[in-house]
Amino acid sequence: MDVAYQLLQVITTPLALPLLLLVPLLLLLASTSRRSRHGSKQQLKRPVLPPSPPALPIIGHLHLVGDCPHVSLRSLAAKHDSGGLMLLRLGTVPNLVVSSPRAAQLVMRTHDHAFASRPTSRISDALLYGSSDIGFSPYGEHWRQLRRLVTTHLFSVKKVNSYRLARQDEVRLVMEKIREAVARCKSVDISEMMNTFANDIVCRAVSGKFFRAEGRNKLFRELIETNTSLIDGFNLEEYFPGLANVLGSLTSWFASNKAEKTHKIWDELLETIISDHEGRGRSSEQGHVVGGGVEQEETDFVDVLLSVQKEYGITRDHIKAILMDMFGAGTDTSSLVLELAMAELMRSPQLMTKLQVEVRENTPKGQEMVAQDDIASMTYLRAVVKETLRLHPPAPLLLPHICMVDCEVDGYTIPSGTRVIINEWAIGRDPESWEKAEEFMPERFLEGGSAAAVDFRGNDFQFVPFGAGRRICPGLNFGMATVEIMLANLVYCFDWELPAGMEKEDIDLTEVFGLTVHPKEKLILVPKPRGSVGHAA
């Protein structure tokens, strides 16, 4: 404000007019002089942007992005990119599309420091306490603190293992429901059942056993779906930020109003849960010790966050934002992997049989269910999960990154403020990285297979379903433990058939795009007593 006031004083003096008339002439002469002296050098220094297809006025390349953006972006990249990098203008916003393992490594490792932030979003600000969560928070000290907190106290291998009995208990409840369906000769909606299971696992880890008795798990599911639809929806600011600023009150009112109403419901629910934990003093009663000692089975995320609140300098709102992340990120991703793994196995009965043989041979004879410790020797089970993640990543475009500073990537200049879209779906189907890339082949991940050494923990850039670098998903260990124990028990406890009149070729994997990608059709299967349909007993 001081600079603006001083400038105003200068231009209102009596001598200002001739000086103002002289300034353009001086600037023109200086510019001409520089061009004459450094013309050739300036040409060399002109920024080289990544390749880009022809754009339309105003909308840019929006017309080229179809109903399944991950698919249309891969097709565009095949025609117009260079080395896996392509620049698109979606509305007025530049977007760098990353479509190859090499390009992914450049963005998420070589230049990770430049691309570690997230774009701003009015919707995430409204829902997530000013985007103060982990997933949507901009890169900085606050994000680093939260990241350190969850990796140390919520998602460490030790902490994930401490929930093994809770996972086993939730799996047992699902197996009981399926046995009821067997007794009544009923089919099972695998899509719905796996979504409910994944949500219940997360709810229990976050808030303890009492969530089910009070019916909160259903409310959590409804709120998660609302969050997803709001974040997925068309937001004018993402494509036309200048216009959104001018017309914000008209164009963003409906989305913002719904986001604020949803946030209020979340806030009341999370406040109740936190207050319950504080009132019962669960951490002290269960002998929970952060940083050492023995952790009890049912010490949940809320207990942990309250116990380290002062240590990490986080507010009550920060705790709520973290918890919202846990609910949102942990439900859809795990349930989709389970649903699609079962769909692919039903499409390839020989693979289902191979998995059942492994699981049943490596589970102690007479044991009712597969236990967590039994899974260690099940290499084909892990290969099936990996292949499902490769072919059907739940979030095919990951979460968007943003370039924080001008930087040069593979000889191209990436301007500050450029959004970054990492097309993990295209990377996981890159024919140069994967043999028979479009086929479901778990064997590729077994010893002796073409991808035996490839893993999803951020070091192999042809396979990054959880991202990589600073922004890699911190909950991948939790998610994988959830998926493996459920899939093992589904194929151990039952055999499976398709509904009458349906053939394996009829299983429809057509996708509906969103923050996560869902099959258009639900997966309905018929459970049978083990050994009743010709599979190995």
Task: Tell me, yes or no, whether 239 lies in a domain.
Answer: yes
Residue 78: pLDDT band with limits 50, 70, 90: very high
For 265, the token pair is 């419901």
Burial track 170-201 (b if 16+ CB lie within 10 A, e otherwise): bbeebbeebeebbeeeeebebbebbbbbbbbb
Rounded CA-CA distance 133/142 in Å is: 9
Q: Does the pLDDT value for residue 291 go beyond 50?
A: no
The larger pLDDT score, comparing residue 286 to residue 197, is at 197
Report pLDDT for 10: 31
Rounded CA-CA distance 388/385 in Å is: 5
266-275 mean pLDDT: 94
* Statement to judge: residues 405 and 439 lie in one domain: yes
Report pLDDT for 122: 86
Q: Residue ranges for the binding site? A: 473
Decide if 433 contacts 104 (C-beta within 8 A).
no
* Statement to judge: residues 21 and 111 lie in one domain: no
Domain count, the chain: 2
Q: Does the pLDDT value for residue 341 go beyond 70?
A: yes
User: Among 80-84, 361-365, 433-437, whose mean pLDDT is lowest?
Assistant: 80-84
Share of the chain above pLDDT 70, in %: 84
User: Is the pTM above the cut of 0.75?
Assistant: yes
Residue 136: pLDDT band with limits 50, 70, 90: very high
CATH number at residue 454: 1.10.630.10
Query: 35-44, long-range: CB within 8 Å, 24+ apart, which pairs?
Result: none
373-402 mean pLDDT: 97
Task: Tell me, yes or no, whether 536 lies in a domain.
Answer: no
Q: Residue ranges for the binding site for heme? A: 473
Name the residue among 310, 304, 274, 273 with its Cα closest to residue 289. Answer: 304
Fill in the DSSP letter of residue 495: E
Task: Tell me, yes or no, whether 101 lies in a domain.
Answer: yes
* Statement to judge: residues 36 and 138 lie in one domain: no
* Statement to judge: residues 156 and 33 lie in one domain: no
- The secondary structure of 389-431 as a DSSP string is HHHS-SSTT-SPEE--S-EEETTEEE-TT-EEEE-HHHHTT-T
* Backbone phi and psi for residue 88, each to the nearest 5 degrees, phi listed first: -120, 145
Q: Does the pLDDT value for residue 346 go beyond 80?
A: yes
Residue 138: pLDDT band with limits 50, 70, 90: very high
Q: Does the pLDDT value for residue 296 go beyond 70?
A: no
Report pLDDT for 244: 61
* Backbone phi and psi for residue 511, each to the nearest 5 degrees, phi listed first: -100, 150
Mean pLDDT of the chain: 86
Task: Tell me, yes or no, whether 485 lies in a domain.
Answer: yes
User: Among 22-36, 409-423, 481-495, whose mean pLDDT is lowest?
Assistant: 22-36
For 225, the token pair is 């779906």
Report pLDDT for 32: 45
* Statement to judge: residues 89 and 39 lie in one domain: no
* Statement to judge: residues 37 and 68 lie in one domain: no
- Residue found by looking up tokens 């693979």 in the block: 351
Report pLDDT for 11: 31
Rounded CA-CA distance 396/344 in Å is: 18
Report pLDDT for 213: 64
* Statement to judge: residues 102 and 166 lie in one domain: yes
Task: Tell me, yes or no, whether 56 lies in a domain.
Answer: no
* Statement to judge: residues 29 and 165 lie in one domain: no
* Statement to judge: residues 120 and 13 lie in one domain: no
Decide if 330 contacts 201 (C-beta within 8 A).
yes
Rounded CA-CA distance 134/466 in Å is: 14
- The secondary structure of 207-225 as a DSSP string is H-THHHHTTHHHHHHHHHH
Which residues lie below 8 Å from residue 257, measured CB to CB, with a gap of 6+?
none
Decide if 464 contacts 108 (C-beta within 8 A).
yes
* Statement to judge: residues 30 and 137 lie in one domain: no
* Statement to judge: residues 16 and 84 lie in one domain: no
Rounded CA-CA distance 502/345 in Å is: 15
* Statement to judge: residues 11 and 146 lie in one domain: no
Task: Tell me, yes or no, whether 497 lies in a domain.
Answer: yes
Per-residue pLDDT tens digits for 279-290: 876 445 444 444
**Domain span at residue 186?**
62-529
Task: Tell me, yes or no, whether 51 lies in a domain.
Answer: no
473-488 mean pLDDT: 97
Report pLDDT for 8: 29
Task: Tell me, yes or no, whether 535 lies in a domain.
Answer: no
28-45 mean pLDDT: 46
User: Among 149-153, 186-190, 327-331, 533-537, whose mean pLDDT is lowest?
Assistant: 533-537
Residue 233: pLDDT band with limits 50, 70, 90: low
For 1, the token pair is 């404000």
Q: Does the pLDDT value for residue 221 go beyond 90?
A: no
